[in-house]
Amino acid sequence: MKYAIALIPGDGIGPEVVGPAMEALDAVGDIYGHVFNYVELEAGGNAIDTAGEPLPENTLEAARECDALLLGAVGGPKWDALPGHLRPERALLGLRAGLRVFANLRPAVLLPQLRRACPLKDEVLIKSNPEGKPQFDVLIVRELTGGLYFGEQGRSNDNKLAFDTETYAWEEIERVLRTGYAAAAVRRKKLCVVDKANVLESSRLWREVAAAVSEDYPSVETSYMYVDNCAMQLIRSPGQFDVIVTSNLFGDILSDEASVLTGSIGMLPSASLGSPQDMLAKDGHPMGMYEPIHGSAPDLAGKDIANPLGTILSAAMMLRYSFGLEQEAAAIEAGVNAVLDAGFRTQDIAQSNDGSEGEKILGTKAMGKAVLHALEGKEFL
């Protein structure tokens, strides 16, 4: 099969991490007989520089024509002083809304090889894990095209007052909850709605919708938690969670927190999915946008030290969710696992910088090559 992939390397470390992910996709394509055609597009800071706006219309149009989108990261200090509507981050919001990808899947898994990079004590991990292992596997499903990020905002005439609004319609909550329930049904069958229903009216609506939608998923156990408590529980006892479904802002915050528990924010992939019924869906699969959850990390850019694994794992999610290529996705994940098993680390997931723990510290390119070699069944490096 042939697939068209829109590629937005973006700013900062974006291009450095997208390169290895493309190589991994191509290697998988060679092995399993698929062709991936890349359509490189500009968005973010680089688009501001060349086109004068963070998300040129032709970028969104071209992305819509593709089967899926792989994005590195956008943003950087160079564009920080621009007004809100011209900041690079607007490109992300515009792509998410324009592609109607309302459900953002952010899996936070503690791999056994990275146990020592997780800041939690063994006893904390073990106590909360149903099997008594120092591990956790949480899927955060973040609502991505509504809430505070897209509500009415503004300033008073004298600029001394500013406001942002949290607005959620029943349908917006329902569709992201259904994505969460579908995921929970094939995982450990637990879904926790995270909100601030003791204060916010929109959160109370989330609970009403969840109560209604949960009726359709009797095999899944539904629970509710306030977001402040959830921030604490993730650190106290991450093993208690299976699937968390939450609003745009709360999901943004909790996923950064969860990422640190996995060893590094550089490890976390994400998939942003729309509805299979949507007119943008191709071949029954929803349009998907795939990106690591880390940002453009300008301080790491150009040094060949960024961790490409979050982006490589995002490419695996693309194969799984947009193309239905489960075996191929699993092959990439197995490749990443094998490389970690062999002791290869980028510096963010290493325990020490001198290799004293039996680890071999690799740069971005070398880590990408190690995954490639694992995929192709070759000796490492």
Q: Which residues pair with 310 in a beta bridge?
A: none
Closest to ligand IPM by CB, 11 or 328? 11
Cα-Cα-Cα-Cα dihedral sign, residues 107, 113, 119, 123: positive
Picked from Mg ion, ligand IPM, none, the partner binding residue 176 (CB below 5 to 8 A depending on kind) is none
Closest to Mg ion by CB, 166 or 252? 252
Contacts to ligand IPM by CB under 6 A: 89, 92, 252, 293, 295
Structure tokens at 251: 């999901």
Cα-Cα-Cα-Cα dihedral sign, residues 296, 299, 300, 302: positive
Instruction: Report the nearest approach of Mg ion to the CB of residue 192 (Å).
Output: 20
Picked from Mg ion, ligand IPM, none, the partner binding residue 53 (CB below 5 to 8 A depending on kind) is none
Annotate 265-281 with b (16+ C-beta within 10 A) or e (fewer): bbbbbbbbbbbeeeeeb
Instruction: Return the DSSP state at 306.
Output: S
Stretch of 173-181, 189-197, 248-256, 273-281 lying at the interface with Mg ion (CB under 5 A)? 248-256
Report the C-alpha gap between 338 and 129 in whole angstroms: 24
Picked from Mg ion, ligand IPM, none, the partner binding residue 174 (CB below 5 to 8 A depending on kind) is none
Closest to ligand IPM by CB, 258 or 293? 293
Q: Which residues pair with 93 in a beta bridge?
A: none
Stretch of 105-113, 183-191, 252-260, 340-348 lying at the interface with Mg ion (CB under 5 A)? 252-260
Picked from Mg ion, ligand IPM, none, the partner binding residue 89 (CB below 5 to 8 A depending on kind) is ligand IPM
Query: Does 348 help bind Mg ion (rule: CB under 5 A)?
Result: no
Instruction: Report the nearest approach of ligand IPM to the CB of residue 92 (Å).
Output: 5
Report the C-alpha gap between 277 and 274 in whole angstroms: 9
Q: Which amino acid is at 168?
A: Y
Task: Indicate left, alpha or beta for 21 from its phi (over 0: left) and psi (-120 to 50: alpha).
Answer: alpha
Stretch of 84-92, 184-192, 250-258, 299-307 lying at the interface with Mg ion (CB under 5 A)? 250-258
Query: Does 291 help bind Mg ion (rule: CB under 5 A)?
Result: no
Three-state SS for 255? helix
Instruction: Report the nearest approach of ligand IPM to the CB of residue 87 (Å).
Output: 9
Instruction: Report the nearest approach of ligand IPM to the CB of residue 91 (Å).
Output: 9
Residues 214, 220 contacting (CB under 8 angstroms) = yes
Report the C-alpha gap between 344 and 300 in whole angstroms: 19
Closest to ligand IPM by CB, 97 or 366? 97
Cα-Cα-Cα-Cα dihedral sign, residues 11, 258, 263, 139: negative
- Catalytic residue IDs: 149, 196, 228, 252, 256
Closest to Mg ion by CB, 87 or 345? 87
Half-sphere CA count of 10, side-chain side, radius 13 A: 32
Q: Which residues pair with 142 in a beta bridge?
A: 104, 246
Stretch of 46-54, 198-206, 245-253, 281-289 lying at the interface with Mg ion (CB under 5 A)? 245-253
Query: Does 252 help bind Mg ion (rule: CB under 5 A)?
Result: yes
Instruction: Report the nearest approach of Mg ion to the CB of residue 245 (Å).
Output: 17
Closest to Mg ion by CB, 92 or 191? 92
Closest to ligand IPM by CB, 3 or 149? 149
Query: Does 143 help bind Mg ion (rule: CB under 5 A)?
Result: no
- Our separate counts of H helices and E strands in the chain read 12, 14
- Cβ neighbours of residue 291 closer than 8 Å, sequence gap 6 or more: 70, 71, 72, 73, 269, 270, 272, 311, 314
Instruction: Report the nearest approach of ligand IPM to the CB of residue 54 (Å).
Output: 11
Picked from Mg ion, ligand IPM, none, the partner binding residue 288 (CB below 5 to 8 A depending on kind) is none
Instruction: Report the nearest approach of Mg ion to the CB of residue 296 (Å).
Output: 12
Q: Which residue is nearest to ligand IPM (CB)?
A: 89
Q: Which of 106, 133, 272 is nearest to 194 (CA)?
A: 106
Site of interaction with Mg ion (CB under 5 A): 252
